[in-house]
A and B are shown apart, each in its own frame.
Chain A
Amino acid sequence: MNDILEGLVAAFWLVVTFDPDLMQISLRSLQVSLSALVIASAIALPLGTFLAIRRFRYRRLTISLLNALMGLPPVVVGLIVYILLSRSGPFGVLGLLFTPTAMIIAQVIIITPLIASITHQAMRELWAEYHDLLISLNTSGWQRIKTLIWDGRRNLLTASLAGFGRAIGEVGAIMIVGGNIDNATRVLTTAIALETGKGDFALALALGFVLIALAIGINISIHWLSRTEREGRW
C-alpha cells in the first residue's frame, strides 16, 4: 500500500515538474503506439469489412485464422521480427533492429488481427442491415466497403481503441526488437520493467500511473473528437 502511495506521489511530481526523461519516454510510447495504430487500422479496417461482405473460398478459414491470430504471443512476434530484422535475417540490410521502426512493425503485427477481427464482427451486423439496400442501389464492392466503414465508424473506433490499448501496454515484443535502449527505444512499458527489475517500485509505479493516464486520456480524446456519444450521433 505504501509503495502505491509513494508511486502516486512520485507520478504526480514527475508530471508537474515535466521530468525530461518521463516526457521523452512518454512521447516515444505515444509515437510508436499511435504509428502502429494508424498503420494497423489502415490494413485491418478494410480487411475486416471485406471479410464481412465478400463470400469466397476459404473465407471461414481466413476468419478462423484471424481470430486465432488475436492471441498471438507478443514475445513470439518479437522473436520472429528480431530474426527477420537481424543482420543475418532477410531484412537485415535495412538496419531497423533496435529502432522505433522495428517496435512499430512488431506492434502492427500484434494488433492488426485484433482490430480486423473486431471490425469483422461489427461490420457483419451492419452488412446484414444494409445488404438489400446496397445491392439494390447497385453499389460496387469498394462503395459498399466505404459506406460500411463510414456508417460503422463508431464500432470501428472501438476496434481501433482496443488495438491501441494492446499496443501501448505491450512490453514483450518491443523489448526484444527495441532493446530498451536509453534515449533511443525506451518506452513506458520497457522502462517499468527495467525499474521493477532494479527494485525501484515507486518509480515503476509512477511510470505505470502515467501509462494508465495516457491510455485513458487518448481514449477520451478520441471519443470527444469523434463526438460519439452526442445526442443523435453515431
Chain B
Amino acid sequence: MVSVMLPLTLKDVSVRRRGKRLLGPVNLTLNPEGLTMIVGPNGSGKTTLLRVMHGVERLSEGSATWAVPEEEARHRQSYVFQTPIMLRRTVADNLRYPLQLTAKPRAEIEELVHHWLKRIGLDARMGLQATRLSGGEKQKLALARALIRKPDVLFLDEPCANLDGASTRDIETILRSALLEKTRIIMTTHDLGQARRLAGDALFMLHGVVHERGPASDFFSAPQTAELQAFFRGDIIA
C-alpha cells in the first residue's frame, strides 16, 4: 500500500553553517511512490538535502512537512549512511536492535531477523561481530537493518560507494524488492549507471539548489540545462 506519509513538502528550505550556505533555497514536493535519485557533483548539497528530508539536519530557514505528524513520520522512515555504521554487536544483534527499540514480541523479532539474514545471505555468519564483515556485507547489513522495520520511506546516501559489482548488484536487488513492496526510496549516487537503472525520477543538485528535476526518462535522455549536460559528459563543473 502506498504510504500515507507523503507527500513531503520542502518550502524555502535553507541550511547555513558558520555563515556559509550549504543548501537552499529549496522548494520541493516528493510524491508517494517510486525511487527518487539525487545526483550532482561533490559538495553540491545532496547529503544535506537527504538529511533535511530525514529530519536530522537543523534548518536555518523554511520548513519540511510530511502528510502525517512529525513524530509519526520519524518512526516510519530509515536512513542508510554512505559509510555503514555497525553497532559493536553480532550481525544478528545489529538486525535485532531497531526492532528491540519498539515493543515487538520476541518471537516476531526472531522471525524477522532470520528472514533478513537469509535475504542478505549472512545467515551463516549471524554470530560474527558485524565490524568484521567486508564493506559490501556491512552495507547489506545496514540496508537490512534499515528495512527490517518496514519503513514507509527509505533514505540512502550513496549506499554503493566503494563497493564492487557483485555487492552493488545485491543491494540493487534488495532495493528493487523494497520498491515492489511500496517503500518510497530517496537516494543519492555518484554512479550514473546505477541512477539510470533504478531512478523513477531524478534531481540534479548544484551549489546547494535543485538545478534540474524530472522523470528519469527525460532527465537522462534530454537534460535541459547546460550544467546537467556537462555533468553527464563528465566535465568538471565549478
Contacts and interface: CB of A to CB of B under 8 A. Distances in A.
Interface of A: 126, 129-130, 132-133, 135-139, 143, 147, 151-152, 232-234
B85 interface: yes
Given A137-B98, A143-B101, A233 B129 contact: yes
A85 to B, nearest CB: 43
Report, as a range, how many residues of chain B touch the other chain.
10 to 19
22 contacts: A129-B85, A130-B85, A132-B56, A132-B81, A133-B85, A135-B56, A136-B54, A136-B56, A136-B78, A136-B79, A136-B81, A137-B97, A137-B101, A138-B74, A143-B101, A151-B87, A152-B88, A232-B129, A232-B132, A233-B129, A234-B88, A234-B129
Contact of B87 (A130, A136, A232, A233): A130
B119 interface: no
* Chain A binding surface SS class: helix
A136, A138, A147, A232 — which one has the most chain B CB atoms within 10 A of its CB?
A: A136
A133 B81 contact: yes
B74, B88, B129 — which one has the most chain A CB atoms within 10 A of its CB?
A: B88
Nearest to B157: A132
A130 B75 CA distance: 18
B85 A232 contact: no
A12 to B, nearest CB: 43
Contacts of B192: none
Nearest to B79: A136
A133 to B, nearest CB: 4
A234 B88 CA distance: 8
